[in-house]
Amino acid sequence: MAYADLAHEELLALKAELEEAYGELKARNLKLNMARGKPGGEQLKLSLPMLDCVTSDGDLIASDGTDCCNYGVLDGIPEAKTFMAEMMDHDPANVCVFGNSSLNIMYDLVAGGVLYGYSGEPAWKDQGTIKWLCPSPGYDRHFRICETLGMELIPIELRADGPDMDKVEELVADPAVKGIWCVPQYSNPTGTTYSDEVVKRLASMPVAAKDFRIFWDNAYCVHDLYDETERRERVLDIARTCVAAGNPDRYFKFASTSKVTLPGAGIAAVAASADNIAVIRKRIGTETVGYDKLNQLRHVKFLKDRAGLDEHMKKHAAIIRPKFELVVNTLAAELGETGATWSTPNGGYFISFDGAPNTAQRTVQLAKEAGVVMTGAGATWPYGKDPLDRNIRIAPTLPPLEELEQALEVFCCSAKLATVESLLA
């Protein structure tokens, strides 16, 4: 029976029962982590051979003759541009391959707006309070960039087909709104993919600010969990859609190999219009002497091309698919009566969990006290404030299957207990 339909006495009995179960779980002294989207050890092993692709006796010259061991090249060696362009479905001429962190490129481009501005408009620092649209639940590190830079973060409901576009279209009539964060495919954390309709509306909507930018973080563009065509989701390309709508400079597109090869030792890229790329190239020449070309070379030698990339990603999927399925099946078996809902993603790195209102913080706290670290409740919302206190991001990839099973036991018990407590409060 649904918890919400239980009588007071039944709830009290259930609570006592759950507290006993929770106490037993706690006594196991677990130390498990489902907090962040980190690949597990088995996944890392897939890419270790990459480290043997660049050695002292190898050919370390890029296709254009650049010695990858010396200074030179700001925006990526040609073969790395070609590789990332294939991954990002973009013209290699308008792709810059930089260092190991796409988040760092995003930070630089938001900070660049604050410091220097875009499209010939004044720097954002000279335009008063800047506002930013944050489809939520979303990626905490995106939101933190804007918060750190003193912007006003506006949460937008993220629906099954993408952000609430009526709301977005209404808000971009305000010239202080300068950007929107998008994880358009296998979204973090909901796992959903924007519909073609949403992408078209984003690309074509009238926007008051000429210097408005869509930050299109296509972090999971090649991160399918399933091989079946009907379960492979593909978001419409924002670049071509913006061009078709007559707004070619509206977007910055991002991707990295962090969850393809080795996190922290990957390569990251930005793709944009020719004009935007020219701006980025110019700015980057002030900001650095260049990026690690040997690591770019290492990646291309290892993954080779789009076919090699796809083959490699299938191996990742084979490892993590059972973890996602374990989570979804366990939640279905355990939490059906609590009123909670959750996503069943076809790709990406997360399962988004929505408990009963006002239970997320308590659930995460209970799990933590029983040795299971989850992403902080609220983290998926601007300022860390989930208005309904119900969303929790589940990251199933890091723990081995048997540990994940234990962690889920703790999580489900915590969620149930938090729900009962909330109904009794």
Kindly tell me which of 84 and 199 has the beta carbon lying closer to its own copies: 84
Please give the Cα distance from 324 to 334 (Å, whole number): 15
Look at strands 162-163 and 152-159 and give their pairing: antiparallel
Residue (70 or 341) nearer to its own copies, CB: 70
Closest CA to 215 of 149, 126, 128: 149
Pairing of strands 177-182, 131-136: parallel
Q: Does residue number 49 form part of the binding site for its own copies (CB under 8 A)?
A: yes
Contact with its own copies (CB under 8 A): which of 15, 36, 304, 368?
36
Q: Which of residues 271-330 bind its own copies (CB under 8 A)?
A: 283, 286-295
Of the candidate residues 10, 16, 41, 174, the single one contacting its own copies (CB under 8 A): 41
Q: Give the C-alpha separation, 42 to 40, whole Å.
A: 6
Residue (150 or 308) nearer to its own copies, CB:
150
39 lines the binding site for its own copies (CB under 8 A): yes
Choices 46-54, 168-176, 226-234, 377-385; region in contact with its own copies by CB under 8 A:
46-54
Distance of alpha carbon 221 from alpha carbon 89, whole angstroms: 10
DSSP string, 376-416: PTTTTSGGG--TTS-EEEE--SSS-HHHHHHHHHHHHHHHH
Tokens linked to 152? 């006003």
Round to whole Å and give the CA distance between 420 and 170. Answer: 39
**For its own copies, which is the closer residue by CB, 14 or 134?**
134
Minimum gap (Å) between residue 307 Cβ and its own copies: 22
Q: At what angle do helices 8-26 and 401-424 cross, to 10 degrees?
A: 150
By the rule CB under 8 A, 65 interacts with its own copies: no
- H/E element holding 229? none
Question: Closest approach of Cβ 294 to its own copies, in Å?
Answer: 5
Part in contact with its own copies (CB under 8 A); list of ranges 16-24, 96-104, 223-231, 246-254: 96-104
H-type alpha helices, 74-173: 78-88, 102-115, 140-148, 165-171
Residues 6+ apart with CB under 8 A from 9: none
Name residue 312's amino acid.
Answer: H
Q: Should residue 152 be labelled a site residue for its own copies when binding is judged by CB under 8 A?
A: no
CA distances for 5 relative to 10, 125, 353, angstroms: 10, 53, 21
Cβ proximity to its own copies: between 107 and 342 the closer is 107
Residue 268, H or E segment: strand 268-271
Smallest separation (angstroms) from its own copies to the CB of 23: 31
Q: Cβ 223 to its own copies, closest distance in Å? A: 15
**129 contributes a contact to its own copies by CB under 8 A:** no
> Nearer Cβ to its own copies, position 144 or 306?
144
- Would you tell me how many other CB atoms lie within 10 Å of the CB of residue 404? 24
Asked if 11 touches its own copies (CB under 8 A), the answer is no
- With CB under 8 A as the contact rule, the residue among 15, 144, 167, 368 that binds its own copies is 144
**Closer of 109 and 360 to its own copies (Cβ):** 109
340 binds its own copies (CB under 8 A): no
By CB under 8 A, what part of segment 108-127 binds its own copies?
111, 114-116, 125
Question: In whole angstroms, how close is the CB of 141 to its own copies at the nearest point?
Answer: 8
Check if the beta carbon of residue 165 is closer than 8 Å to that of residue 198.
yes
Q: Give the H/E segment covering residue 306.
A: helix 306-335
Q: 190 to 249, contacts with its own copies by CB under 8 A?
A: none
CB 241 within 8 A of CB 331: no
Choosing from 82, 94, 100, 218, the residue that interacts with its own copies (CB under 8 A) is 100
61 binds its own copies (CB under 8 A): no
Instruction: Tell me which stretch binds its own copies (CB under 8 A): 37-45, 207-215, 238-246, 386-394.
Output: 37-45
Q: Does 262 bind its own copies (CB under 8 A)?
A: yes
- 34, 104, 148, 23: which is closest to 377 by C-alpha? 34
Q: Are 338 and 416 in contact (CB under 8 A)?
A: yes
Q: Is 52 in the site for its own copies (CB under 8 A)?
A: yes
Helix H or strand E segment including 156: strand 152-159
Give the one residue of 11, 42, 121, 141 binding its own copies; rule: CB under 8 A.
141
- The residues of the shown chain that bind its own copies, judged by CB under 8 A, are 36, 38-39, 41, 44, 47-52, 54-56, 58, 67-73, 99-101, 103-104, 107, 111, 114-116, 125, 141, 144-145, 148-149, 258, 262-265, 283, 286-295
